Amino acid sequence: MELVNKSVLVTGGAGFIGSHLVDQLLLLGSKVTVLDNFDNFYVGKERNIAHHVNSPRFRLIRASVTDFDTMLDATDGVDVVFHEAGQAGVRYCIKHPQKAHEVNVTGTLNVLLAAKRQRVKKVIYASSSSVYGTPVRFPLEESLPTNPTSPYAASKLAAEKYCLAFAETYKMPVTCLRYFSVYGPRGRPDQVIFAFADKASNNERPVIYGDGSQTRDFTFISDVVSATLLASLREESNGQVINVGFGKETRIDKVARMVLEYYGSNKEPELREGYDGDFPRTLCNNSKARTLLGWQPKVSLEDGLKVTLRWYDERKNQAVDVRKAVTE
């Protein structure tokens, strides 16, 4: 399948990952519908898609994935659904587990049911490396047992299981992509790089929850978008769970220092008590994505961080409101 002239639906298409996907899909010649409720987890998402509103191949539906009837309408005549809508934020979901369940689990079930009814040709689900929790070994490969340690991770895994059950029971062409710590321009303001930048750019000390030794496999947005598009094109990905991560782990205290260095600051990060539900390490084994999708990540953390912080400096005020949302 090609994407030119195809009708695609991007749920959560105004968000960080979704909006980058929308940019590429429009470039590739798809007819793109975005379904997004502009959830108040953070503000400013309208700007992510503002440059497309006058395109004849772009349509916006302001609605929730939890509304089944709207999902049925939105999937009518659609070839591919990229299901990116979700309640992100591990810490936020610890405070709001019911919301995480409603959006991530019930919302995904609605997407699947609507896609089944409308005979959509492919559904891509944005899952998460957090489903591994505290794993038995590293690097993380898809066959390892899952062990969610937070309500967010549990909800992402439950939705993944629904996807696989629909693939098995109804032979639906569904693919689950486990994204690893995606970062880049338009990133969510609650993400760690921006939390560090908020402080470092004001010559304050970035705050680390825990001792700083926890690691993440940071994956730049353009690499995530390319994997997602490839997955939509490959039949071999049907019914599969596939890791999408760069394949290198970086300690959180190192990231804090990289951000401080970018701002020319000689401050040290401040360590605060960690929180339950955090996970100690992620490191992606991305062999399956390389083999099955022909994908290769290209952007190192050093390069991607500079691009991200340059964008952050241009849009600094966007970070403010999410701080309130995350602590409410």
Ligand X SMILES: NC(=O)c1ccc[n+]([C@@H]2O[C@H](COP(=O)([O-])OP(=O)(O)OC[C@H]3O[C@@H](n4cnc5c(N)ncnc54)[C@H](O)[C@@H]3O)[C@@H](O)[C@H]2O)c1
Residues taking part in catalysis: 152
Contacts of residue 161, defined as CB under 8 A and 6 or more positions apart, other chains included, come to none
CB 131 within 8 A of CB 160: yes
Nearest distance, CB of residue 169 and ligand X, angstroms? 23
Q: What is the largest CA-CA distance in the chain?
A: 58
Q: Give Cα separations from 145 to 133, 169, 238, 286 (angstroms).
A: 9, 22, 21, 16
Q: Which is nearer to ligand X, 101 or 156 (CB)?
A: 156
Q: Which is nearer to ligand X, 198 or 265 (CB)?
A: 198
CB 80 within 8 A of CB 3: yes
Q: Which is nearer to ligand X, 125 or 262 (CB)?
A: 125
Q: Give Cα separations from 311 to 51, 189, 317 (angstroms).
A: 17, 12, 12
Q: Which is nearer to ligand X, 33 or 64 (CB)?
A: 64
Q: Rounded distance, CA 158 to CA 151, Å?
A: 10
Question: Within the chain, where are the H helices?
Answer: 16-27, 46-49, 68-74, 90-95, 97-100, 107-117, 151-169, 192-200, 221-233, 252-262, 287-288, 301-314, 320-327
Nearest distance, CB of residue 3 and ligand X, angstroms? 19
Catalog residues that contact ligand X under the rule CB under 6 A.
Answer: 11-12, 14-18, 36-39, 41, 45, 64-66, 84-88, 103, 107, 126, 128, 156, 179, 181-182, 188
Q: Rounded distance, CA 11 to CA 86, Å?
A: 9
β-partners of residue 53 are none
- Locus of tokens 């959006």: 103
Q: Which is nearer to ligand X, 103 or 299 (CB)?
A: 103
Q: Give Cα separations from 38 to 224, 227, 293 (angstroms).
A: 22, 25, 31
Q: Rounded distance, CA 62 to CA 103, Å?
A: 15
Q: Which is nearer to ligand X, 85 or 174 (CB)?
A: 85
Nearest distance, CB of residue 74 and ligand X, angstroms? 10
Nearest distance, CB of residue 84 and ligand X, angstroms? 4
Nearest distance, CB of residue 131 and ligand X, angstroms? 9
One-letter amino acid of 145: P
Nearest distance, CB of residue 149 and ligand X, angstroms? 15
What single-letter DSSP state applies at residue 140? B
